[in-house]
A and B are shown apart, each in its own frame.
Chain A
Amino acid sequence: QSVLTQPPSVSGAPGQRVTISCTGSSSNIGGVYDVNWYQQLPGTAPKVVIFGNKNRPSGVPDRFSGFKSGASASLVISGLQVDDEADYYCQSYDNSLGAWVFGGGTQLTVL
């Protein structure tokens, strides 16, 4: 069981907006630690889409946005496209485990 909790799956129609949540605790997200989000397309390595809770690397569309509040974080994808269909993972650091930790992953289906 992952330290960071994500819904197993979310779905949306093209053009819609979806939100993927990531819930942690005071030893990780709820503390001083930022959240990063990764997109993993089928058969490929993960790619960072949000870092430091809300920042987008160059080349990531502004349809992707991130938020953090307390011990929870969210990835919002607006204007859904078929190419967004992938697995998404949140990631942070946990000081009680002394480890970098990932959420269990959320499979996004674009209907």
Chain B
Amino acid sequence: QLQLRESGPGLVKPSETLSLTCTVSGDSIKSRSHYWGWIRQPPGKGLEWLGSAYYNGNTHNKPSLKGRVITSVDTSKNQLSLTLTSVTAADTAIYYCARHSTTVTGPLDVWGQGTLVTVSS
């Protein structure tokens, strides 16, 4: 059974870099049929897609984040990574990783449990 699990620091200081990892088990991240994405949810608010990566290194990140987001996959470890630079309090959120198909409107069909990241000094 496919499972995704996010990991990383729960507290990051303002202006620093947030780095998270998503470990995929039960399937290979080298699936040609899927992208692997990051979505976040500020406390009490809605969902926001941040970026997605494909096993061959292709990525598609949210343009409005102006280059702050970097997504990548490590096929040797079956992991997906998120890097978010120059964080502020507005980046405090639950961060989820999820799988979606390569078709642009395919659903996010498998999600991790999420990890809370707080930006505070």
Contacts and interface: CB of A to CB of B under 8 A. Distances in A.
Among B47, B60, B112, the most chain A Cβ lie within 10 Å of the Cβ of: B47
Interface residues of B, number: 22
Determine the main DSSP class of B at the interface with A. Answer: mixed
A36 B46 contact: no
Contacts of B64: 97, 99
Nearest to A98: B63
B96 interface: yes
B102 interface: no
Given A47-B111, A98-B63, A99-B64, A93 B105 contact: yes
A6 to B, nearest CB: 9
Interface in B101-120: 104-109, 111-114
A103 interface: yes
B46 A89 contact: yes
Interface residues of A, number: 27
Interface in B77-108: 96, 100, 104-108
A99 B63 contact: yes
B108 A91 contact: yes
Interface of B: 37, 46-49, 52, 60, 62-64, 96, 100, 104-109, 111-114
